[in-house]
Structure 1
Amino acid sequence: MKSRFSFSLLPLLAAGILFLGTSCNKTASEAEADAQRTTNKAEQELAELREWAKDKANDVDSTADRKGPQVKEEFKQRSAKLEANLDSLSAESKEEYKELKRRFENWQSHNKQRSDMPLQPEKLENFTFLLLGSKVALDVTWAPGQVRNKYETFLTNVRQRQSGWTAADWDYVDAVYRQMNAKKDPLEDNLSPADRLRIKGLQAEYLALEAKKDAKDLHQQLKDE
């Protein structure tokens, strides 16, 4: 009786072993699939980072504060997602990511060195003359009727001369622009609607030119050699 009872358990035991084996195989397959998805995700994020860097060359966003801080934060967010799955990248992709990161950090470092360096008064005067036609253009009182002409003169010179400017030169151009805005703001209520509209358009154009230059500087650091 005991023997018959034991033999009757064999089919159940065999079925159980088969079930466990199937479950183990399924779990391994699922783990492999999960690993592949993680790898694909990491490679996709690297591809997106690569394209993001290339897009900087054609980016002409005219938002005033867009430049360094926003680009830095955007890179930080993209990099953080990629870092989470870094081990899933191939050796070649890891090296590509390290190189992109190194180039971006170099761009940041160069920008910080420039921003930490005080502007030279004599050079600022020279740029004021170059852009506005007078070294003392920002020291004298402006009449409301002169403001539009100042911005038009400034933008005309920026358009004509920008191709030869270095990143350090743009720091002086931007200093002149910010001082112009400081001169204009107290006169805003006395400007005609047409002048206000024209000035806003000129400001937007300048910011677009400046942002495009910053984007190209970043692209130069990140582009493929």
Structure 2
Amino acid sequence: MKRNFQGQAFALLVTAGLIFGSTACSKSERVETETTVENTGTEIKNESEEAYNNFKNWIDEKERDTAYVYDSDRDWTEEISDREEAYNERVAALDKNAKYYDDARRAEIEEMKTRYNTSWQTRRATYASYGKADSLRPVYLTTPEKAEDLNALTPANIRAAYENFVAKVQENKETYTNADWQVVDAMWSDLDDRKNAIQEQLSAKDKYEIGKAKTKYQAMKAASKTGNTAEKVGSNVKEGVKTGAEKTGDAAKEGGSKVGNAASKTGSAIKDTYKKAEDKVDGTKDRK
């Protein structure tokens, strides 16, 4: 009997230990799960905020970068690719976290996207124009393709290079954008630099003909760039001018009506005054 009792007591202790252990494990697992959920929520919030801030700061930086000019040392095709890749990466991060943003934040993000893409289309077109330089140089400067300098231009052929350059500009100037003119003008400067380097070896006739080519080029550039600028300005203010003209027209119409009425009244008054003066003169004649 004693041995049975001890056995039963041992079994009870083991069972109690199992129950306690199970309860402890259950509580520990619950705390661990709650902690995991809390940490996951914090991580999601941090990730969504980071995606938003990265995008906003990048947009702000690009919008401040407004002074861009042609540089022959830059790969403009690569510039386009790098810019679009950077934008797409940031948009992908935003899209991944879109469900964690409220309506106001989503609206702000869409507004930034629209604003950026509108300006990027203009800049992308400019970069594309800059990217044409490599293909234009041998055509305009009559040098070998991918030549790193203009040493192929000598006292014997540089006059012909000037004349060819001016002919190409004459042929294409109507299609040039302001960005195209930056590329063309940079090539022209390179041509001038090469000419200056061999100036002493040129004949008087060559110098004279090059001078004529330079005058013609400058005239074409001034006329075309002025036209491009005027066209751009005209496009930007067209609606404003139209609206302003309509308002001015209405105001002028109203003012004209008022002036007309005033003039009519003034005319009537003058007519009456003149008639009175005429009657007075006639009366004076009768008294005589």
Give the TM-score normalised by the residue count of structure 2: 0.41
Paired position in structure 2 for 1:139 = 163
1:171 paired with 2:172, answer no
Larger radius of gyration: 2
Structure 2 counterpart of 1:54, one-letter code: E
Aligned to 2:122: 107
Residue 29 (structure 1) aligned to one of 29, 38, 42: 38
In structure 1, what residue type is equivalent to 2:83?
A: F
How many residues align structurally?
147
4+ runs of 1 displaced by more than 6 Å?
112-116
Q: Name the amino acid aligned to 2:121.
A: N
Judge conservation of contact 1:138–1:183 (CA < 8 Å) in 2. no
- Residue 97 of structure 1 deviates from its aligned partner by 4.4
Distance in 2 (CA, whole Å) between partners of 1:114 and 1:73 is: 14
Q: Please state if 1:96 is matched with 2:120.
A: no
- Code of the aligned partner of 1:106: Q
**What's the CA shift string for 1:10-59, capped at 9, x where partnerless?**
221111011101111111111112111211211111122221222112x4
Q: Which runs of 5+ in 2 are unaligned?
A: 1-7, 137-159, 165-175, 201-231, 233-288
Work out which of the residue numbers 83, 92, 102 in structure 1 matches 2:91: 83
Partner deviation per Cα, 1:123-174 (whole Å, 9 max, x = no partner): xxxxxxxxxxxxx99439xxxxxxxxxxxxxxxxxxxxxxxxxx81442353
2:147 corresponds to: none
Task: Return the alpha-carbon distance in structure 2 between the equivalents of residues 7 and 84 of structure 1.
Answer: 55
Q: Give the residue type in structure 1 aligned to 2:24.
A: A
Match of 2:63 in 1: 54
Instruction: Kindly report the root-mean-square deviation, in angstroms, between the aligned alpha carbons of the 2 structures.
Output: 3.9
1:88 CA displacement: 1.7
**Within the alignment, does 1:72 sit opposite 2:80 as a pair?**
yes
Alignment partners' CA distance in 1, 2:81 and 2:163: 37
Q: 1:39 to 1:102 in 2, by over 3 A?
A: same
Q: Please, which of 179, 193, 202 is the counterpart of residue 184 of structure 1?
A: 193
Q: Is the 8 A contact 2:76 2:127 kept in 1?
A: no
CA contact (8 A) 1:45 1:82 kept: yes
Conserved 8 A contact 2:51-2:90: yes
Describe the shift of the 1:55–1:170 C-alpha distance in structure 2 as closer, same or farther (beyond 3 A). same
- Identify which range, 6-15 or 80-89, moves more after superposition: 80-89
Q: Are 2:21 and 1:12 equivalent residues in the alignment? A: yes
Give the Cα separation in 1 of the matches to 2:57 and 2:88.
13
1:139 alignment partner, SS class? helix
1:164 paired residue number: none
Distance, in Å, in 1 between the alignment partners of 2:162 and 2:125 is 29
Match of 1:45 among 54, 59, 73: 54
Deviation at 1:106, TM superposition (A): 2.3
Corresponding letter in the other structure for 2:72: A
Letter in 1 for 2:184: A
Higher RCO structure (Cα 8 Å, ≥6 apart): 1
Shift of 1:4: 3.6
